[in-house]
Structure 1
Amino acid sequence: MEVKTAENKPKRKSAFREWLDSIAFAVVAATLIRWLFLEAYTIPTPSMENSLLVGDFLFVSKLHYGTRTPQTPLQIPLTHQKIWGTNIDSYLSWIKLPMYRLPGFSHVKNGDVVVFNYPDSLGLPADLRPNYIKRCIGIPGDVIEVRGTQAYVNGKPAENPERMLQPYLVYTKEELDTKFFLKYDVWNRRNESENWSPIAELDSVRKEMVTVGYRVVTSAKVAAQFREMGMKVVQDIMPKDMPENVYPNSQLFAWNRDNYGPLRVPKEGETVPLTALNIALYRDVIENYEYNDKVEIEGTTVKINGTPVTSYTFKQDYYFMMGDNRSNSADSRYWGFVPADHIVGKAVFIWMSLDPEGGLLDKIRWRRLFNLID
């Protein structure tokens, strides 16, 4: 029969060692949950208003589309680009792995609100580029067009989000004030002129400028209410003959944010002839997101790894994203397609919402807590 002595009795962990073990377990568990299941994000800009507001805190599901394996594995856990509170990189680029996606139970669909890595940040690894959130307007193979602010997908009008914001010209016979616009939620505490501003014209009799209406950014529902009051309401749309610096930034296309396309979204396995128009449309894709070793494009001549090519087959799927605040959103109209390997996950619900300008009693937007995102 074995007799235990003081020498073989197991040593009890110190309180400090138990504390360290608990911290290590919590970090590992949080890292796995963040990678495989859910990750928290916040809304910093108004590009998705009024569907998502500045100060909304979201949970984003990695399970819907399938989580990605890390391209940059040498990284401090629970960080993105920088070590908390510093400007020091939280990762080392010594090792770069191919990126794969685990099976998900869904695919990106038209109308989904999606978090993705901003593709235009080419100096960073793909999985560490800034996180953006937009609504998916076009999936692989779709033809996207915007006609007078209305998006069309394959020739049919896309369903507009209920709270989508658009600019309107509202003509009135009397001056309106902040109190009026606040009543109809056409007001922004951060900048009162951001969502409405007066329209003035020269009075031919009094020889002075008088207010005849307002430029207003609001929803179609509120615009309809203004019409019911007898106001003249028209959409504030950029003319077709006013080219803007939008993707693909080519003189071959006189497009702007309100009159855009038609543009076909690249699809994996699809082959396009490399005409002058297609080179302008898809040059950015071929050069930056297809993992080609060497691409040379001069005029209408394209060489890949030194070999001239007259057609190109896409290696992955792409998506076209737009913000719900259509006149105040830097989206695919300005910087192009989102590659499939940049998709992070689907925004599913708001777990907290804080008004950046709210006071002690109205800081939390209670009505938005635990709202599903549609």
Structure 2
Amino acid sequence: MSWKFWQKNNDGKPKKKKSKSREWVDAIVFAVIAATIIRVFFIEAYTIPTGSMERSLLIGDFLFVSKVNYGARIPMTPIAFPFAHHTMPYTTSTKAYWDGVQWKYHRLPGLQDIKRNDVVVFNYPQGDTVAVEAQNRDYYQLVRNSSWKEINSSYTIIYRPVDKRENYIKRCIGISGDIISMKDGLVSVNGKPEKLKNTGQFSYAVTFKSAEVNFGIFEEMGFKLSGDYPDITPLAEGSYKFNGTEPMMNEVKKLDFVSSVKELSSAAADRESDVFPFDPKRNWNVDNFGPVQIPKKGWTVQLDSNTMPLYERCIRIYEGNKLEKSGAGWLVNGQPASSYTFKMDYYWMMGDNRHNSLDSRYWGFVPEDHIVGKALFIWMSYDTDGTFFGKIRWNRLLRGIN
């Protein structure tokens, strides 16, 4: 193809015919450019690698995520290898981008604002990726209580720009300005209880009347009995832990050999210091926390010992201010400050698989510059644990996400 089609050939000489190889090169270059524009500004494909959104989204679901709904984010790291995220294909450490050029955060106008209960893809807000498991709680303690020098001596830190950090997908439970709290696993938004969606799942303790139980019944109900993440695991003699949706567990309750079904709380399993805001003064855990207000652009918060554990990271890391303790007060960019006005909107994200999700309960608020897009629909779903003819989940193809 001609890249100078607007120029006329006035020399009277016949145009030289392109070779087959040149035509192929031109076609490939055009296809890469067109696909990159579509991927960056319109729509992109993602896959679900973990079970944090079950049963709304399953491991092996392939999604299309819209960049248009919330407005496409202008690439913050513009020089990168096409179709790669942060590492080159078939490698684990070779960078697929050059961070020598960094652009400030800008976003094109979108079709809508982020709404409560939207399923959103965003960049991991905890920041730097550690070479150990992200869920490692010793790392959270180290980040909170140690200097960066101590952290670097204990862990391998991979520094990445915001738009090159890992992509996460969660449900937006609260938007900027909302007040979030949770009691015994039930979330409240602005004082109104919000039940878990029917497609989300919770943990339950199920006790049987007899040791003779045909577990095949539960498989027919939709429970997964095998694989890396089975839905039913032993708790004690005659008692099992079930991971399931509320409608599924209502069916379990109806079985004549079931003695009791009770929701399981994580209060005993999670130390208060494991969850956001890593503040020993707050007795918070993954099922009981808050209330906490989500920062909103233009909202002013007073800086004191009560608010700083909640908003220090937003002020220092996400909004790029130099924050220092000075006597009984604080210095923001070298100036005494008793309050701070936020520059961005923030969101509270949680997984639908409430007891198996690393989300805002651990790392707090998600800033607007980390938002990638809105999950639209599932175009393919592949079950690695399925039989030969059942690996494709045909009933999930082209299913909308809500």
Do both share a fold (TM > 0.5)? yes
| Residues 304, 329 of structure 2: 8 Å contact kept | no
1:70 maps to what in 2? Answer: 75
1:228 maps to what in 2? Answer: 254
Instruction: Measure the CA separation in 1 of the matches of 2:206 and 2:327.
Output: 47
* RMSD between superposed Cα atoms in Å: 1.9
Q: Does 1:212 align with 2:238?
A: yes
1:91 maps to what in 2? Answer: 97
Q: Does 1:352 align with 2:380?
A: yes
Higher deviation after alignment, 37-46 or 78-87 = 78-87
| Residues 121, 130 of structure 1: 8 Å contact kept | no
Residue 46 of structure 1 aligns to a residue whose secondary structure is coil
Residue 8 of structure 1 aligns to a residue whose secondary structure is coil
2:118 maps to what in 1? Answer: 112
Q: Does 1:196 align with 2:232?
A: yes
Higher deviation after alignment, 238-247 or 148-157 = 238-247
Instruction: Measure the CA separation in 2 of the matches of 1:299 and 1:150.
Output: 40
| Residues 267, 286 of structure 2: 8 Å contact kept | no
Instruction: Measure the CA separation in 2 of the matches of 1:368 and 1:37.
Output: 23
Which residue identity does 1:96 align to in structure 2? Q
| Residues 116, 131 of structure 1: 8 Å contact kept | yes
Cα displacement (A) at 1:286: 1.0
Specify which of 306, 314, 317 is matched with residue 288 of structure 1: 317
Please give the per-residue CA displacement for 1:278-336, whole angstroms capped at 9, x wherever unaligned.
011111111110022x2224685321221121111111000000000000000000011
Q: 1:125 to 1:19 in 2, by over 3 A?
A: same
2:199 maps to what in 1? Answer: 163
Q: Does 1:185 align with 2:190?
A: no
Instruction: Measure the CA separation in 1 of the matches of 2:273 and 2:185.
Output: 14
Higher deviation after alignment, 326-335 or 233-242 = 233-242
Residue 224 of structure 1 aligns to a residue whose secondary structure is helix
1:36 maps to what in 2? Answer: 41
Instruction: Measure the CA separation in 2 of the matches of 1:56 and 1:28.
Output: 27
Instruction: Measure the CA separation in 1 of the matches of 2:232 and 2:89.
Output: 38
**Unaligned 5+ runs, structure 2:** 1-8, 129-158
Please give the per-residue CA displacement for 1:77-110, whole angstroms capped at 9, x wherever unaligned.
2221112112311111111111111000101000
Cα displacement (A) at 1:227: 1.9
Cα displacement (A) at 1:223: 1.4
| Residues 135, 321 of structure 1: 8 Å contact kept | yes
Which residue identity does 2:30 align to in structure 1? F
| Residues 295, 304 of structure 1: 8 Å contact kept | yes
Cα displacement (A) at 1:54: 0.2
Which residue identity does 1:114 align to in structure 2? V
Specify which of 266, 285, 288 is matched with residue 256 of structure 1: 285
1:276 maps to what in 2? Answer: 305
1:305 maps to what in 2? Answer: 333
Q: Compute the TM-score of the two structures, normalised by the length of structure 1.
A: 0.91
How much identity, in percent, do the aligned residues show?
45
Q: Compute the TM-score of the two structures, normalised by the length of structure 2.
A: 0.85
1:48 maps to what in 2? Answer: 53
| Residues 52, 353 of structure 2: 8 Å contact kept | yes
Q: 1:370 to 1:8 in 2, by over 3 A?
A: same
Which residue identity does 1:228 align to in structure 2? K
Cα displacement (A) at 1:229: 2.4
| Residues 167, 218 of structure 1: 8 Å contact kept | yes
1:364 maps to what in 2? Answer: 392
Aligned residues: 358
Q: 1:113 to 1:188 in 2, by over 3 A?
A: farther
1:101 maps to what in 2? Answer: 107
Specify which of 367, 372, 375 is matched with residue 339 of structure 1: 367
Q: Does 1:8 align with 2:13?
A: yes
Instruction: Measure the CA separation in 2 of the matches of 1:305 and 1:134.
Output: 34
Please give the per-residue CA displacement for 1:98-141, whole angstroms capped at 9, x wherever unaligned.
11110001010000000000111242111111100000001000
Residue 48 of structure 1 aligns to a residue whose secondary structure is coil
Residue 115 of structure 1 aligns to a residue whose secondary structure is strand
| Residues 118, 171 of structure 2: 8 Å contact kept | yes
Instruction: Measure the CA separation in 1 of the matches of 2:220 and 2:328.
Output: 56
Higher deviation after alignment, 171-180 or 239-248 = 239-248
1:267 maps to what in 2? Answer: 296
2:160 maps to what in 1? Answer: 124
Higher deviation after alignment, 71-80 or 260-269 = 71-80
Which residue identity does 2:118 align to in structure 1? D
Residue 64 of structure 2 aligns to a residue whose secondary structure is strand
**Unaligned 5+ runs, structure 1:** 201-210
Please give the per-residue CA displacement for 1:213-261, whole angstroms capped at 9, x wherever unaligned.
2111111111111222253111011348963510011112111111111
| Residues 266, 355 of structure 2: 8 Å contact kept | no
Q: Does 1:81 align with 2:82?
A: no
Q: Does 1:58 align with 2:63?
A: yes
Residue 181 of structure 1 aligns to a residue whose secondary structure is helix
Q: Does 1:245 align with 2:274?
A: yes
Which residue identity does 1:49 align to in structure 2? E
